Chains A and B, each alone.
Chain A
Amino acid sequence: MAEQRSPGTVPTPRRLLERLPSITVLGPFVALLLAVLFFSAQSDRFLSGQNFSLILQQVLVVGVLAIGQTLVILTGGIDLSVGFVMALGTMVMTKFAVELGLPPLLSVLCGVAVTTGFGFLNGLLITRVKLPPFIVTLGTMNIAFALTQIYSKAQTVTGLPDALLFWGNTFRLGETVITYGVVLMIALYLLVWFLLSETAPGRHLYAVGNNPEAARLMGIPTQRVLLLTYTVAGLFYGIAGWLLVSRTSVGDPNAGQTENLETITAVVLGGTSLFGGRGMILGTLLGAIIVGVFRNGLTLTGVSSVYQVLITGVLVILAVTADQLSKRRG
């Protein structure tokens, strides 16, 4: 019987490497804490409830999109169609409501059905035709973009009914004004966290990402898990679209163009491995907030937005490096 290494022995380089997973867990917290401390020192407007509420509103859409992206990345895949599929969904919602005059909630449902359908299509192509997720979603990204432009004739939709703007409504918590959308985002994160960590389908998603062949041999319907994952991701893109419409009060055919990379940034900063099978959904929320804090803080301290992009890039490289190092261990 191989003996166990007893805890508390002298830290060798190997022992330090073994602790890396905890670095990927703690990393996001530390990064967030440092950023908050730094910006609080730089600007006295930074550390206020109202400013944090604003940051949350700014990360709302990317935050909900990143839930779908996290699910996909946990299976070892990637989704490049995220922002463009959402944009198509918002065009369907707004045009159905404004131009076809459908009841607003039915229009929302149609928009969400379109994004969910796109997720299903991604899943179908990946599981049935066995194409790599990267290529499939690159293709559907372009299809969604083109459909958005064709359908909207590149026109912005305005004059939206109130129901479409619902998530922009606010309530007060003490001094701070909070939108319903922020509450929805946090609720969705908690729900997905529960499903991933406490239910059999959630654990199967991790197993499929961690070792697909083992999952298959253990009787997990791996193809069905993948198909369901991409479909559910599409559902979240639709919800994110509704949140976007609520925030901006328009249907914008050019929305969602930077969101792909931003969701991947949030996922990676949150400590989820791009190799699949490892990571936490709540880390993604932290990752999204980190990006938001940097944006907001740098803007408040009057730093040009080019530096914001630079710093985000450096953060992503750091996070991916930690991921790669912890994978190499053992």
Chain B
Amino acid sequence: MIEAKAVNFAYHRGEPVINDITCKIEDGEFVALLGHNGSGKTTLSRLFMALVHPRSGDIFVDGDNIEKLEPADLAHQVGYVFQNPDLQILEDTVFAEVAYGPRCKKLSETAIKEQVQAALQAMGLENLADAYPRTLSFGQKRRLGVAAALALNPRTLILDEITNGQDEQEKDNMMDYLQKLNKEKRITIILITHDMNIARQYAKRAIVLNDGNLVFDGTTQDLYNGVRDLKEWGLTQPIMAILSAAFIISAPTVEDFCEKLCLKEGGER
């Protein structure tokens, strides 16, 4: 559980970047954090991870105020996955790479082995345990990044634009793994993304930032109802949402939509 109470933040002596944000993310939720470039998404998530601390206001992780903590203290509660996996690759095998976190926490070798294997499995990397991390494909490296965060068994995962630059198949692949984590292990997912389709398809709840202000906090269904004008926040309705609204068919995917549309057309004829 992550909770922000009246949080304000600015970098150095610059303009305020986060303005008086209050929100609460419960265990097991799948939240999309949305907003235009520079709206403060990354900054808010960095606040959650204690990478930066608020100017005023408080942040609670699992009920504890994190103002005196540093990221390493939170690593077993919240996993943070960065955009560029290359900048953290350290070891010569995928297994060792994922084991870095548990090793820092000084877990026993058996516990390390167990947790690493579980993390690799959760991201579909179990066959690559002995591979050299730098030679993995881009998508695999991204999943490696998630596995590395998962290895500490966090209750929450924060993912900052990790589907950027991946092909559709690899994107779906990644999102399916994340959905499985959310459904089966009840891991809270906070997904920062510019991809409205992904947000609509996978997230239950959406939080929208606009110039550092929280302007929307509700279900993705409500946000993407096909008619709400999202331009002022720098967002757009996904095409599927517009179609769904126009044809009064609720469907998560294109295939689903086509099927239901055919049924409907058939019925009318």
Do A and B actually bind? no
